[in-house]
Amino acid sequence: MIIHRAPLGTHERFIGFLLEHYAGKLPVWLSPQQVKILPISDKFMGFAQTVKNQLKAAGVRVSIDDRNEKIGKKIRDTELQRVPYMLVVGEKEVSEGRVSIRRQGKGDAGTMSIEEFVTVITREIKERSSGD
């Protein structure tokens, strides 16, 4: 009698192949966390929550980095977590009703209104494109 042992199941192997193929940088549609909102200080937490609620309503997986850290550290940590989109919110963004967008590995991608960003990211997720 031969005993067959498979330490990894089919699902685990598939996830391993995906992670290896994308080198850990999953596309937006596949990423467990698609957007992280980075408020510059606690003063902007209300606006960050508004942005989060709009993204969640559109079906986007989003969170807020509410740690009391400098924005550079928040950006660096989010890059290391390989979150595809970072939305930086500060005084200028709040007054204009916009968000500053950063792409993982590509840096600053400019600013746009929350509604525009929701449209862009939901289209990218729906079409399973890379957003380039």
| Residue-range domain boundaries for the chain | 26-127
Question: Which stretch of DSSP H or E encloses residue 14?
Answer: helix 10-21
Quote the pLDDT of residue 75.
Answer: 95
Superfamily of domain 26-127: Anticodon-binding domain (3.40.50.800)
pTM for the predicted model, two decimal places:
0.84
Q: What is the mean pLDDT of residues 52-63?
A: 97
- Judge whether residue 4 has pLDDT over 80: no
Closest CA to 129 of 7, 29, 1: 29
Specify the long-range contacts of residues 105-112, CB closer than 8 Å, at least 24 apart.
105/25, 105/79
Helix (H) or strand (E) holding 89: strand 85-89
Query: For residue 95, is pLDDT > 60?
Result: yes
Triad 39, 53, 51: Cα angle to 5°: 35
Would you call 7 exposed, middle or buried from its count of C-beta atoms within 10 A (0-12, 13-18, 19+)? exposed
Give the mean pLDDT of the chain. Answer: 90
Is residue 8's pLDDT more than 70? no
